[in-house]
């Protein structure tokens, strides 16, 4: 058996028709709302099956490298973060995704924050001439800001399984739905800059 490590996944926005896919991925990889120790049966709480946006779905032990498998299985139409903790000689790995940005992958700490060596930081500063926007796009900060704004906008939203667009709760999705004023931290050519959907009234 290879090394094992804790893992966590958070979904920040998701089209209603893709919620079942997310829940199936979580079920397949054993991610839940509570830590279940190895050998313990899953704990059912009798609540209707649904996806809570901004909520961490966790597993106390999973094979190192599983974050990449989970990230590959999650829908590209959703915004999410998946990371596994560092363990022994292994650094953690974080996958950040927003439909308007694509995927960012990096080594990370136990909180899922991207990590870079001092040499890597020096190279990035030289490469970008210390441009803050470019640095944000190369270090994952662009994704972190976008996902944090979605977390604040969609906090507490629960999308039931088998929802339709007509029946699901409203949620912010596009970058300009959660950004007020110019998105100075966004690269000028990012797809989200061209989207024109207004923020929903809740």
Question: pLDDT tens across 8-53, in order?
Answer: 999 999 999 999 999 999 999 999 865 544 555 554 544 448 999 9
Taking CA atoms, 171 is separated from 52, 130, 150, 198, in Å, by: 12, 35, 9, 11
Taking CA atoms, 80 is separated from 48, 52, 111, 153, 155, in Å, by: 22, 12, 15, 14, 14
The DSSP secondary structure of the chain, one letter per residue, reads: ---EEEEEEEEEE--GGGHHHHHHHHHHHT-BSS---TTPPPPP--PPPEEETT-EEEEEEEETTHHHHHHHHS-TTSEEEEEE--BTTBPEEEEEEETTTEEEEEEE-TT--B---HHHHHHHHHHHTT-HHHHHHHHTHHHHHHHHHHHHHHTT-EEETT--TTTSPP---SHHHH--S--TTS-TT-GGGG--PPPPP-
When the pLDDT of each residue in the chain is averaged and rounded to a whole number, the result is 80
Instruction: Yes or no: say if 80 and 74 are a contact pair by the CB < 8 Å rule.
Output: yes
> Which pLDDT tens digits describe the chain residue by residue (202 residues)?
568 888 999 999 999 999 999 999 999 999 986 554 455 555 454 444 899 999 999 998 888 889 999 999 999 999 999 999 987 777 899 999 999 889 999 999 888 999 888 999 899 999 888 888 888 888 999 999 999 999 999 988 999 998 887 777 888 776 655 444 434 445 555 544 433 333 333 3
At residue 88, the pLDDT reads: 74
Using a cut of 0.85, tell me whether the model's pTM lies above it.
no
CA dihedral 9, 170, 24, 66 (to 10 degrees): -20
With pLDDT > 90 as the criterion, what percentage of the chain qualifies? 46
């Amino acid at each position: 058996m290879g090394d094992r490590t804790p893992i966590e996944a958070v979904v920040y926005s998701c089209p209603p028709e893709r919620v079942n896919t997310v829940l199936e991925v979580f079920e397949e990889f054993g991610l839940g709302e509570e830590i279940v120790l190895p050998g313990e049966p899953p704990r059912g709480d009798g609540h209707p099956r649904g996806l809570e946006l901004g909520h961490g779905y966790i597993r106390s032990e999973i094979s190192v490298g599983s974050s990449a498998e989970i990230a590959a299985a999650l829908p590209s139409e959703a915004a999410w973060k998946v990371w596994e903790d560092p363990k022994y000689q292994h650094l953690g790995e974080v996958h950040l995704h927003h439909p308007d940005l694509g995927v960012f992958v990096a080594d990370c700490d136990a909180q899922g924050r991207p990590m870079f060596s001092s040499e890597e930081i020096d190279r990035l500063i030289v490469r970008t001439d210390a441009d803050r926007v470019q640095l944000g796009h190369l270090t994952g900060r662009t994704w972190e800001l976008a996902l944090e704004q979605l977390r604040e906008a969609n906090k507490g939203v629960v999308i039931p399984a088998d929802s339709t667009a007509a029946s699901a709760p409203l949620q912010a999705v596009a970058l300009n739905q959660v950004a007020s004023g110019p998105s100075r931290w966004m690269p000028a050519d990012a797809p989200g800059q061209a989207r024109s959907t207004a923020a929903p009234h809740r």
